[in-house]
Structure 1
Amino acid sequence: MGNQPMIVLSEESQRTSGKDAQTMNITAGKAVAESVRTTLGPKGMDKMLVDSTGSVVVTNDGVTILKEMDIDHPAANMIVEVAETQEDEVGDGTTSAVVVAGELLDQAEELLDQDIHATTLAQGYRQAAEKAKELLEEQAIDVSEDDREVLVQLAATAMTGKGAESARDQLAELVVDAVSAVADEDDVDIDNVSVEKVVGGSIDNSELVEGVIVDKERVDENMPYAVEDANVALFDGAIEVKETEIDAEVNVTDPDQLQEFLDQEEEQLREYVDKLVDVGTDVVFVGDGIDDMAQHYLAQEGILAVRRVKSDDFRRLARATGGQVVSNLDDLAEDDLGFAGSVAQKDIGGDERIFVEDVEEARSVTLILRGGTEHVVDEVERAVIDSLGVVRTTLEDGQVLPGGGAPETGLALDLRDFADSVGGREQLAVEAFADALEVIPRTLAENAGLDPIDSLVDLRSRHDAGERAAGLDAYTGGVIDMQEEGVVEPLRVKTQAIESATEAAVMILRIDDVIAAGDLRASGDDGGDDDMPAGGAGGMGGMGGMGGMGGAM
């Protein structure tokens, strides 16, 4: 081969390696973190996101922002996954997790410039993360399901700084009531809390319905609007004439024969209705269609019927009423019926819906959220869903921590002490990890218009004196005892954020070669230099890609 280089990649492939690859990926990750950093805390700002069709989302919810931004850069997407994991696991703390991940990358960049190897950094970061989780677990405060006041404080803290803050205390009470109602002994499934949005009225008018709201109407005007003390049948099928499973042709030679066919169909429908009447049905929810003639018979019997009910609604109705969902009417027995003190069709926000209320044990409930505009209601919903996740997590784990940057400030001090016991260059990585955690109190101060240096100095001195619940009051600028103030968060919000942020940062740092089978320019870029951009992240490009690496990846 002589001195000829061997080409193993196709001509269309792009490659960058070594320091350039690390710089590009770190820059992309930091750009994502920076995009949500200003939304952190009770004084965080909102983002307006406009997509290509012109629809607008106004929010300061970290995971919503990152999903709506339509990020293309593969390294940046690893940071987005941090937010999504945080959302799935605990429902809150998405912005904190992303900001910490970005700061870990920023600290790592300085150490890489000092010729600290990425593998050494990764090892040190992992050691620091493990130690941080241990320290947090030692400091956690135990909470039981009977500590209603603490649960309400948790719910309120999760809504602070979001669109629901004007009615935070009232909504926090509703959230705790909702989660407590659906909690089983060893499981809290917040899918059993349905959230209905209504545009109109104020947030203060939001309410909790201990039962189920089905977004349907009764099928016939002659049916009753409301039924008291109702026996409820849940039939996941159709009340229609059964069709033959094979194609058949019937020749009718006499009008009497046609009438006989029609009579048989009517008789079949009548039998279905009689079956419901025989077992004592007052209300029937049907998964499929209801024949017009069957609707007539049901109305004659005074039975309120609802058709095309979704499977999720069936599950909630079964939990709320205690009924059994049956797929064959012949199998329906009196024991399968559920009970509700009231089933009624009511107007809500201009739409007619079926309310199933006054159930014996409300194991499925509905939150009705109101607001002046659609954007307001959407943001209230996001805040309430975060709050539901926080209360669920606390009931499952039973441990909380003070908020306001208190855990991060304490961890930073403890990890600096821990770094002295770590040998080798990993010690520098542990110290960098400690510095990175302080981005949370620093950002809280910045977003509140305070001096971040003064705030951080005050926090450190209070923690040095042993006040481990001391956090930053974003409203007054003072350092106060967050536990006494009722600003608390679930332990898992912090441990999951540290775990996810560390794993994402380590994965990005360990990449020293990026090979793409195609053009590495930003999607939508029609020309320009074909070489890999050294800086990588470029601009946000409106709602488009992150630049640096687009389309092909």
Structure 2
Amino acid sequence: MMLQPQILLLREGTDTSQGRGQILSNIGACTAIVECVKSTLGPRGMDKLIHVGDKATITNDGATIINLLDIVHPAAKSLADIATAQDNEIGDGTTSVVVLAGEFLKEARELLEDGMHPRVVIRGFREACQKAVGKIRDIEHKVNAADTKEFRELLINCAKTALNSKLVSSYKEFFAEMVVDAILKLDADLDKSMIGIKHVKGGSVTNSFLVDGVAFKKTFSYAGFEQQPKKFENPKIIMLNLELELKSEKENAEIRIENPEQYQSIVDAEWEIIYQKLDKIVQSGAQVVLSKLPIGDLATQYFADRQLFCAGRVPIEDLQRIAKASGGQILTTVSNVPAEALGSCAIFEEVQLGGERYNIFRGCPSSHSATIVLRGGSEQYIEEAERSLNDSIMIVKRALKNSNVVAGGGAIEMELSRFLRDYSRSISGKQQLVINLFAKALEVIPRTLAENAGFDAIEILNKLRQKHSVGGVEGRWFGVDIKNGGICNTFDNFIWEPSLVKINAISAATEAACLVLSVDETVKAPKNEQEVTAAEKALAARGRGRGRRF
């Protein structure tokens, strides 16, 4: 009997696994990630404490949790990708998209274990997703943007809904107004970077406030700073990307001299250069001098003697916001400074906030910037409050661009589930079963909301199914009533979400599930010779031959 030759196709130590078992293994890894974040969903969701190095983070934001988890499984990383994409594109719904993707995979597992081909499941999921998105667009509520009062109410309700599940939910009315006011100050581009969020430890969270302009923490200062005035009305502001220190000239040039007596003339020339720069700044008419680079002790005292305010090492993002808000430009030279390059504001002042001092620019002419100053008892609380406000800001931003909304609290998912169940009965073949399971998976959102609130999820789901089976406007907006432990018309209770959030969440979750289902083999190659040697020893220890037989 002849032995089959051994053919080595892959590098020694390469680990491969394939087939239906590999797909099920990938689904299991994704399910483990989902179970980690599932309990954070909803207004009564729990928080997670993640300890990385010396830093501990307390949060219930899905994207933050998944990014802080050091996920090594290649298939499970796809869930981290969709959470990050949802966070970047929409800003909210990161937990929902992960939970939905996990539930789609969980339902697909049953079909695969029964022998259905993954491509059949993928085709059915994509068809169901397309039908669900079409249904959302059919039933979404369109708000008249021309009605200023109604439109502002829409934005505030969307902001409060986004804050419902956050750490600052007890202050959602307070922060919702703040978020809407900040967004409405932006220009048509709605550039989120023009909204600054600053942390000030100490005081109550209700001491937080919105600055109509720009605020940043006092930068490092030299002697003479305290002699400068700390408040101006209608000042001219010059913004520089220029170092105003004596050392800059002598370090940026190489000079060779033959006579040591010439050294004094070089030193005098350096002083002359820096004084010329400072004199040109004063002649420009500016009263507030800001620079991305350091402003040294000589310049600080020079400005103080002439009743000017200066701040060096200003963070570039703050400097850019000041430039855009004040109507000025960031300059790299002080020669021939044009008047239009100077910015202005109604009031500039330096104020004490907690243990820090802040420079605040109010009443800027363009009014396309705002700063939210967050107060709180601990840095962890403030950081989580910032993540909460970030979600709310992104939701309001999307609602401002797309004024169509749907009801939250699991109402839209239950309506889509009912619609897809009815649609599945109108078709035949395996797709009927796949679409029906897709509809069942959508119920995970209201079920999880109820479970996280400590309610009887089965009873609530049965009531919701009965209400939505009626059809029409009367039943389509019923969702989970978190306050009273039953069901309610969440639309009438102003629990609104932009329809774009749900469309993006369902589409992204479906694509992630289809991606995992389409992978039937994983190949892991060793990175270096040490790993190859270790793999050879492991194979030898198990008594296996070298190479792979095909």
TM-score (norm 2): 0.90
Counterpart in the other structure of 2:212? 210
Aligned CA distance change for structure 1 residues 515 and 262 (closer, same or farther; 3 Å) = closer
Select 2:167's aligned residue among 160, 163, 167: 163
1:263-315 per-residue CA deviation (whole Å, 9 max, x = no partner) reads: 43333223222222222111111122334333332222211111122221221
SS of the residue corresponding to residue 479 of structure 1 reads: strand
The answer (yes or no) to whether the contact 1:448–1:475 under 8 Å persists in 2 is no
Within the candidate set 197, 200, 205, 1:198 is matched to 200
1:517 is matched with: 525
8 Å CA contact retained: 1:156, 1:168: yes
Tell me, what secondary structure is at the counterpart of 2:476? coil
- 1:194-216 CA distances to partner (integer Å, 9 max, x unpaired)? 10112211111111011111233
Give the CA deviation at 1:342. Answer: 1.9
How many angstroms apart in 2 are the aligned matches of 1:530 and 1:216? 59
Preserved contact between residue 266 and residue 293 of structure 1 (Cα < 8 Å): no
SS of residue paired to 1:464: helix
Please show how residues 401-412 of structure 1 align to structure 2 within 5 Å.
401-412=406-417
Matched with 1:105 is: 105
Distance 1:335 1:7 in 2: 72
1:309 aligns with 2:314: yes
More displaced, 474-483 or 99-108? Answer: 474-483
User: Contact 2:159–2:180 at 8 Å: present in 1 too?
Assistant: yes
Cα distance in structure 2, aligned partners of 1:253 and 1:496: 73
> For residues 54 and 222 of structure 1, what CA distance do their matches in structure 2 show?
40
By how many angstroms is 1:251 displaced?
A: 4.2
- Counterpart of 1:105, as a letter, is L
Deviations 1:47-74 (A, max 9, x none): 11122x2421111111111111111111
Write the distance in 1 (CA, Å) between the matches of 2:120 and 2:96. 25
Query: 2:482 maps to what in 1?
Result: 474
Q: Which residue of 2 aligns with 1:66?
A: 66
| CA-to-aligned-CA distance 1:188-233 (integer Å, 9 cap, x gap) | 1111111011221111111101111123345523221222221111
Q: Say if 1:300 and 1:16 are closer, same or farther in 2 by CA, change over 3 A.
A: same
Check whether the contact 1:404–1:473 (CA below 8 A) recurs between aligned residues.
Answer: yes
For residue 176 of structure 2, what is the amino acid of its counterpart? A
Distance 1:29 1:253 in 2: 74
What SS does the corresponding residue of 1:435 show, helix, strand or coil? Answer: helix
What does residue 13 of structure 1 align with? 14
**Distance in 1 (alpha carbons) for counterparts of 2:421 and 2:380:** 44
| Structure 1 Cα separation of the partners of residues 349 and 498 of structure 2 | 39
2:354 is matched with which residue: 341, 349, 353? 349
Q: Does 1:249 align with 2:251?
A: no
- Match of 1:353, SS? strand
Decide which of 380, 383, 393 is 2:385's aligned counterpart: 380
Return the match for 1:180 from 178, 184, 193.
184
Post-superposition CA distance 1:106-130 (Å, at most 9, x none): 0000011111110000000011111
Q: What SS does structure 2 have at the residue aligned with 1:441?
A: helix
- Other-structure match for 1:492: 500
TM-score (norm 1): 0.90
Q: Does the CA-based 8 Å contact 2:478-2:490 persist in structure 1? A: yes
**Aligned to 1:431, what secondary structure does the other structure show?**
helix
Cα gap change, 1:253 to 1:512, in 2 (>3 Å):
closer
In angstroms, what is the RMSD of aligned CA positions?
Answer: 2.2
2:335 aligned residue: 330
- Out of 326, 340, 355, the position equivalent to 1:321 is 326
SS of equivalent residue, structure 2 residue 226 = coil
Q: What SS does the aligned partner of 1:484 have?
A: coil
Return 84-93 or 14-23, whichever deviates more. 14-23
**Offset of residue 6 of structure 1:** 2.8
Q: Which amino acid aligns with 1:490?
A: P
1:367-446 → structure 2 map (5 Å cutoff):
367-446=372-451
Is the alpha carbon distance of 1:442 and 1:253 closer, same or farther for their aligned partners in structure 2, counting shifts above 3 Å?
closer
How far, CA to CA, are the matches of 2:264 and 2:307 in structure 1? 28
Alignment of 1:34-45 (within 5 A): 34-45=35-46
Alignment-mate amino acid for residue 317 of structure 1: I
Which whole-Å CA distance do the structure 1 matches of 2:538 and 2:508 have between them? Answer: 34
Tell me, what secondary structure is at the counterpart of 1:345? Answer: strand
Partner of 1:501: 509
Give 1:244 deviation, angstroms.
Answer: 8.1
Residues in 2 aligned to 1:264 and 1:300: alpha-carbon distance in whole angstroms: 22
Q: CA deviation at 1:481?
A: 1.3
CA drift at 1:245? 6.0
Task: Tell me, in whole angstroms, the C-alpha distance in 2 between the residues paired with 1:305 and 1:136.
Answer: 54
- State the match for 2:273 in structure 1: 268
Q: Partners in 2 of 1:514 and 1:261 — Cα distance?
A: 68
Is contact 2:250–2:270 with CA below 8 Å preserved after alignment?
no
Q: Give 1:434's aligned amino acid.
A: A
SS at match of 1:492: helix
2:304 is matched by which residue type in structure 1?
A
SS of equivalent to 1:489: strand
- CA separation of 1:297 and 1:373: change in aligned 2, threshold 3 A: closer
List runs of 5+ in structure 1 lacking aligned partners.
Answer: 532-553
Instruction: Name the CA shift for 1:200/1:240 in 2 (closer, same or farther; >3 Å).
Output: closer
Aligned residues: 520
Aligned to 1:136: 136
Cα gap change, 1:141 to 1:530, in 2 (>3 Å): farther
User: How far off is 1:252 after superposition?
Assistant: 4.6
Partner of 1:329, secondary structure, is coil
Residue identity in the other structure for 1:112: L
CA contact (8 A) 2:257 2:263 kept: no
Q: CA deviation at 1:30?
A: 0.8
Whole-Å separation in 2 of the counterparts to 1:244 and 1:454: 76
Matching residue of 2:56: 56
Would the aligned equivalents of 1:269 and 1:293 in 2 still touch at CA under 8 Å? no
Deviation at 1:417, TM superposition (A): 1.8
Task: Using the aligned pairs only, state the percent identity.
Answer: 36
Give the secondary structure class of the aligned counterpart of 2:492. Answer: helix
Q: Structure 2 CA distance, aligned partners of 1:88 and 1:421?
A: 38
- Residue number in structure 2 paired with 1:24: 25
8 Å Cα contact 2:351/2:358 also seen in 1:
yes
- Report the Cα offset of residue 177 of structure 1: 0.5
2:115 corresponds to 1:115: yes
Rounded to whole Å, the distance in 2 between the matches of 1:260 and 1:3 is: 89
Partner of 1:539: none
Q: Which moved more, 1:358-367 or 1:508-517?
A: 358-367
1:405 touches 1:472 (CA, 8 Å); kept in 2?
yes
Give the letter aligned to residue 192 of structure 2: I
More deviation in 456-465 or 436-445? 456-465
